[in-house]
Chain A
Amino acid sequence: MSYLKIDHVDKRFQRGAATTEVLKDINLVIDKGEYVSVIGHSGCGKSTLLNIIAGLTPVSAGAVLLEGKEVNSPGPERAVVFQNHSLLPWLTVYDNVALAVNKVFGGQKSKAERHDWIMHNLDLVQMAHARDKRPAEISGGMKQRVGIARGLAMEPKILLLDEPFGALDALTRAHLQDSIMQIHAALGNTMIMITHDVDEAVLLSDRIVMMTNGPSARIGEVLDVRLERPRKRLDLVADRSYIAAREAVLKFLYERHRFVEAA
């Protein structure tokens, strides 16, 4: 049985009399422990796809199945790392993670265990030192680290990342990508990441799902990235299969599915 199955999913948005079809017949099977990236031009509906998996947006047709059970509402087993971190500004770094941990594990773990678990997750993203700071007092990269810690702390079956590094500068982004790779290697989480950065997709993913342009976006191609893990950014620069994978994605995005309106 597949771990996560996206089965013939359509999504239409109704606005008055007008109907826009955003996603058309999306089929995808994801295995446990896989790192899958979804890439496509802006407006192709990749964030909608993530929100559907998260349960934040209902499907118009088809279904999302996690371990054979249909999911149609949000829940902590499909934790989301939001694009703009979405930390609650009135809570400290520690309390932001604690909000999630206390809700998800309130009945199962003792207070001391929960504290240890919060600190463990902050350590994982190297943010334990800033536990008493508020989001306004830390940098964008640090906020996103805390967002990732909050997602991981829910011990999700699938971690959904919605352009997690999109708003960060290149150096910070590289640091966080390395952190994510380490975490993925250590924990073996299943992760789905939305991105529009080709290098990021190739570096991090086991498979890259390429979306055609909307409206009625479909899955155009799925590329297997056969690169040994652990991957090192510098070693990959001249790696044959890395270059080939990069080229395949670039060709898909810029030759066959050029975003006409944006040009």
Chain B
Amino acid sequence: MGQAALKTATTGAKVVALPGVKAEVVALPGVAGRRLVDRLGPWLRAALVNILPPLITVALILLVWQLSAHGPQSSLPPPTKIWEEARDLITEPFFWNGSQDIGLGWRILVSLQRVAIGFSLAAVVGVLLGALVGQSVWAMRGLDPVFQVLRTVPPLAWLPLSLAAFRDSQPSAIFVIFITAIWPVIINTAVGIRNIPQDYRNVAQVLRLNQIEFFFKIMVPSAAPYIFTGLRIGVGLSWLAIVAAEMLTGGVGIGFFIWDAWNSSRLSDIIVALIYIGVVGFVLDRLVAFVGTIVTRGTLTN
């Protein structure tokens, strides 16, 4: 980085004639030929700086893992064995050989669908409840203690109750997602609403905005950074909860796949599934964060 900057600085520097000194412009050898390299140089360097360290880390982990799980009496499979046993899962996420022998991509999609439904519900209900709690002192006094207690209940503890209530695994799993994701959305939205500057409320009052206009034109945009913080935490928790919930409810999801693989001692499959789950969770988090930066652009700075 530093060298590149120095290079551009020297080649791109203006020649300033000092009084009494005859300045001569000396053509650097091979400048024209290096143009493309110069232009690509910084970009390549930035890419290397960001990509190389994680690649090295992964390589090291794989190496240590391979060495420590190498022996025949090892209880966990080494990377090479995983590659042999679960190659189809890694290379073909979307194969379809009958209803129970399908690619992990399909299973992930089924889990994602559940998360999408549960999380969307949690987002809508959470923002509305959060707005209520943030806006009304009485709603806060009444609801906040209840929320604070309920939000500490672990997601899976809701599952038996929801199975009893819905009598079906699909809505129960969705309910667990919903109840997991909603608390951070409610709490962050409420904080965001409470932090709306009095100035904006005054503007709304002078314009005589009604409740609905105030909600959409002042509240939501003003609290958007807080709301998205809540949504980001919520989507992370949903993804944590769905895998656990699916282990218990069965069906097609990625969680049940892990449980099923454990019951038939396919350890390699489990490890591949874990990596899938991690990558998808990472992408989900970044996705919500990305949407957040687009939506709240301009809101944070004044």
- Is the A/B pair a real complex? yes
What is the interface of chain A, defined by CB distance below 8 A to chain B? 54-56, 73-76, 78-80, 82, 84, 86, 88-90, 99-100, 103-104, 134-136, 154
Residues of B within 8 A of A136 (CB): 298, 301-302
Residues of A within 8 A of B302 (CB): 89, 135-136
Determine if B205 is an interface residue (Cβ-Cβ < 8 Å). Answer: yes
* Nearest A-chain residue to B299, judged by Cβ: A90
Determine if B209 is an interface residue (Cβ-Cβ < 8 Å). Answer: yes
Q: Which 9 A-B pairs have the closest CB atoms?
A: A86-B199, A74-B205, A136-B301, A90-B221, A89-B302, A90-B299, A74-B206, A134-B298, A90-B298
Determine if B200 is an interface residue (Cβ-Cβ < 8 Å). Answer: yes
* Bound complex: CA A90 to CA B297 (Å): 7
How far in angstroms is the closest Cβ of chain B from A52? 13
B199-A76 in contact (CB<8A): no
Residues of A within 8 A of B301 (CB): 89, 136
Contact with A along B266-302 (1 / 0, CB 8 A): 0000000000000000000000000000001111011
* Bound complex: CA A103 to CA B205 (Å): 12
- 21 A-B residue pairs with Cβ-Cβ distance under 8 Å, sorted by A, are A54-B206, A56-B205, A56-B206, A74-B202, A75-B206, A78-B206, A82-B199, A82-B203, A84-B199, A86-B203, A88-B200, A88-B218, A89-B298, A90-B221, A90-B296, A99-B217, A100-B207, A103-B208, A103-B209, A136-B298, A136-B302
Determine if B168 is an interface residue (Cβ-Cβ < 8 Å). Answer: no
Residues of B within 8 A of A79 (CB): 206
How far in angstroms is the closest Cβ of chain A from B196? 11
From the candidates A73, A89, A154, name the one contacting B299 in the complex (CB within 8 A): A89
A74-B208 in contact (CB<8A): yes
How far in angstroms is the closest Cβ of chain B from A172? 18
Residues of A within 8 A of B205 (CB): 55-56, 73-74
* Nearest A-chain residue to B224, judged by Cβ: A90
| Interface size of B as a range | 20 to 34
A82-B207 in contact (CB<8A): no
* Bound complex: CA A135 to CA B302 (Å): 7
* Bound complex: CA A67 to CA B199 (Å): 27
Task: With a 10 A CB-CB cut-off, give which of A73, A79, A88, A136 has the most chain B CB atoms.
Answer: A88
Residues of B within 8 A of A104 (CB): 207
Determine if B213 is an interface residue (Cβ-Cβ < 8 Å). Answer: yes
Contact with A along B193-234 (1 / 0, CB 8 A): 000010110110111110001000110011010000000000
* Nearest A-chain residue to B206, judged by Cβ: A74
Task: With a 10 A CB-CB cut-off, give which of B200, B217, B296 has the most chain A CB atoms.
Answer: B217
How far in angstroms is the closest Cβ of chain B from A48? 13
* Bound complex: CA A90 to CA B302 (Å): 9
* Bound complex: CA A169 to CA B31 (Å): 49
Residues of B within 8 A of A86 (CB): 197, 199-200, 202-203
A76-B217 in contact (CB<8A): no
How far in angstroms is the closest Cβ of chain A from B9? 30
A88-B206 in contact (CB<8A): no
* Nearest A-chain residue to B199, judged by Cβ: A86
How far in angstroms is the closest Cβ of chain A from B292? 13
Given A88-B218, A89-B298, A56–B208 Cβ distance below 8 Å? Answer: no
Residues of A within 8 A of B297 (CB): 90
Which residues of chain B in 93-111 are interfacial with respect to chain A, using CB atoms and an 8 Å cutoff? none
Residues of B within 8 A of A80 (CB): 202, 206
* Nearest A-chain residue to B218, judged by Cβ: A88
* Bound complex: CA A75 to CA B202 (Å): 10
A88-B203 in contact (CB<8A): yes
Residues of A within 8 A of B298 (CB): 89-90, 134, 136
* Bound complex: CA A73 to CA B222 (Å): 24
How far in angstroms is the closest Cβ of chain B from A156? 9
Residues of B within 8 A of A135 (CB): 302
How far in angstroms is the closest Cβ of chain B from A60? 19
How far in angstroms is the closest Cβ of chain B from A39? 22
Residues of A within 8 A of B207 (CB): 76, 99-100, 103-104, 154
* Nearest B-chain residue to A143, judged by Cβ: B302
* Bound complex: CA A123 to CA B213 (Å): 27
Which residues of chain B in 39-55 are interfacial with respect to chain A, using CB atoms and an 8 Å cutoff? none
* Bound complex: CA A181 to CA B213 (Å): 34
How far in angstroms is the closest Cβ of chain A from B212? 12
Residues of B within 8 A of A90 (CB): 221-222, 224, 296-299
B206-A76 in contact (CB<8A): yes
* Bound complex: CA A10 to CA B13 (Å): 70
* Bound complex: CA A79 to CA B205 (Å): 10
A76-B218 in contact (CB<8A): no
Task: With a 10 A CB-CB cut-off, give which of B206, B296, B297, B298 has the most chain A CB atoms.
Answer: B206
Residues of A within 8 A of B202 (CB): 56, 74, 80, 82, 86
* Bound complex: CA A136 to CA B297 (Å): 11
* Bound complex: CA A79 to CA B297 (Å): 28
* Nearest A-chain residue to B203, judged by Cβ: A86
Residues of B within 8 A of A103 (CB): 207-209, 213
* Bound complex: CA A74 to CA B199 (Å): 13
Contacts A56-B205, A89-B301, A99-B217 supplied; 7 other A-B pairs, CB < 8 Å: A54-B206, A55-B205, A75-B208, A76-B206, A76-B207, A82-B202, A99-B207
